[in-house]
Chain A
């Protein structure tokens, strides 16, 4: 694959990653509302749902974590896209310089030598930045995925706590547990997709 295609491939893939994280962020925002509703429900359910009240703090934490991760990934993705676009331009420039038919006259310095040296240096620098940025992006996605494993635990514990609450509130509390579980799975799915978009670039 040519250098230009590699660069183009990078910013297309990174744009996809940002898009997946945007979707994950929307789900996390829903999760945040679920958490607030759950807290109100736990207060109404009284002492039998006191444990549930504590769990809502974890749910809120998970939501916050995803929103922050999406924001970080978005920042990295924007920076990555800019670097990739510069690399794309630089690659295009080098390809066009290579097509210039020029031979220096005897005793004359090569008119394009300095430009080649400068632009090749820039290209190496951009490639290094893009590799470092890709590693950052991958690490951040992996960390978020690890942290989100807790959603399944929170969901199970929620069900246990729901079973302890008075019967009037059990269905509503179980519904919260379902929403947490579903949100966790859906966010995870988007993180997996994002990871897949990056897999072939590493």
Chain B
């Protein structure tokens, strides 16, 4: 599994793990993120069962298990958090931050040790070392209980499935040509995102944030001008259409 650093200032760091060359081709490629600050770390959307070994291998290169204080699951999908039962055995004192509505569903993945911290619908925040991470509501994009993570200091928005694209394994981590990227994400957004209203509300909310990097859970990340390009494109897109094209 490849790893890149998205931001580093002192002990405050954002890492992205993905583009795993050992991944089974049937498994969709996913981006996992880890934020570190001081002696604390949080893993955002830690991924599915099949990626657990590679993720743990990658994570241990940067931190130790006792420093991983929390996991965050933007929503309940298996590619986001089906590894929960495995992390549960490695991180007996950690917390899981996830939309409150998914607590009893996520417990099916195995959650005997990790403490569930339900994020209320309006969002909340988490103090990681000296930095504050905000859980921004993104309900119905696509899941009915869904959050992004915003780091004001790093100017990074981890956007979960918003901005997701089905990219090639060898594609660069960052989107370089927006127009060429559209076909990789258009169908996904039209089909997976059920509500134009939810989409528009989210865009209006996110436009107020100072974002340098928008980091989705699949495919290339958006940096600088690409973030605005993406928001403009998504604004024009009609979503919630079940046409398999």
Q: Could you tell me which A residues sit within 8 Å of B by CB distance?
A: 89, 92-93, 96-97, 99-102, 111-112, 115, 118-119
Give CA–CA (A97, B56) in the complex, Å. 8
Assess whether A100 is in contact with B53, with CB atoms less than 8 Å apart.
yes
Per-residue CB contact flags for chain B residues 110-130 toward chain A (1 = under 8 Å, else 0) read 100000000000000000000
Contacts of B49 in A (CB 8 A): 92, 96
In the complex, the chain B residue whose C-beta lies closest to that of A108 is B64
A101, B118: Cα distance in complex, Å: 33
Closest to A95 in B: B53
Q: Which residues of B contact A100 (CB under 8 A)?
A: 53, 56-57, 60
Q: How far is the CB of A124 from chain B (nearest CB, A)?
A: 15
Report chain A residues within 8 Å CB of B8.
none
Shortest Cβ distance from B82 into chain A, in angstroms? Answer: 12
User: Closest approach, in angstroms, between the C-beta of B241 and any C-beta of chain A?
Assistant: 38
12 example contacts (A-B, Cβ-Cβ < 8 A) are as follows A92-B86, A93-B85, A96-B52, A96-B86, A97-B53, A99-B53, A100-B53, A100-B56, A100-B57, A112-B65, A115-B65, A119-B89
- Which residues of chain A are within 8 angstroms of B90 by Cβ–Cβ distance? 115
Contact call B60/A93, Cβ cutoff below 8 A:
no
* A-side contacts of B65, CB under 8 Å: 111-112, 115
The digit string for B42-81, where 1 denotes a CB below 8 A from any CB of A, is 0000000100111011001000110000000000000000
Q: Which of B52, B64, B89 contacts A115 (CB 8 A)?
A: B89
Residues in B neighbouring A99, C-beta threshold 8 A = 53-54, 57
Q: State how many angstroms separate the Cβ of B63 from the closest Cβ of chain A.
A: 10
**Cross-chain contact B60 with A89 (CB below 8 angstroms):** no
In the complex, chain B residues whose CB is within 8 Å of the CB of A97: 53, 56
> Which residues in B have some Cβ–Cβ distance to A below 8 Å?
49, 52-54, 56-57, 60, 64-65, 85-86, 89-90, 110
The distance in angstroms between the C-alpha atoms of A119 and B113, with both chains bound, is 13
Q: By the criterion CB–CB under 8 Å, are B110 and A101 in contact?
A: no
CA of A118 to CA of B91, assembled, Å: 13
Known A99-B53, A102-B57; contact A111-B64, beta-carbon cutoff 8 A: yes
Q: Identify the interface centre among B65, B86, B89: most chain A CB within 10 Å of its CB.
A: B89
B149 to chain A minimum Cβ distance, whole angstroms, is 26
Residues of A contacting B57 with CB < 8 Å? 99-102
Closest to B50 in A: A96
Expressed in whole angstroms, the minimum distance between the Cβ of A192 and any Cβ of chain B is: 36
Residue of A nearest to B22 (CB): A99
Which residue of chain A has the shortest Cβ distance to B65 in the bound complex? A111
Q: How far is the CA of A8 from the CA of B149 in the complex (A)?
A: 38
Closest chain-B Cβ to A110's Cβ sits at a distance in Å of: 11
Separation in Å of the B23 CB from the closest CB of chain A? Answer: 13
In angstroms, Cα B65 to Cα A143, docked, is 51
- Closest B residue to A119 by beta carbon equals B89
B110 contact set on A, CB distance < 8 A:
89
Least Cβ distance of A84 to chain B in Å? 15
B89 with A93: CB separation less than 8 A: yes
Across-interface contacts of A118 in B (CB, < 8 A): 89
Contacts of B60 in A (CB 8 A): 100, 102, 111
Residues in chain B near residue A115, CB distance under 8 A: 65, 89-90
Measured CA separation A118–B90 after assembly (Å):
10
Inter-chain contacts of A101 with B (CB < 8 A): 57
Q: What 3 A-B pairs are tightest by C-beta distance, nearest first? A: A99-B53, A96-B53, A101-B57
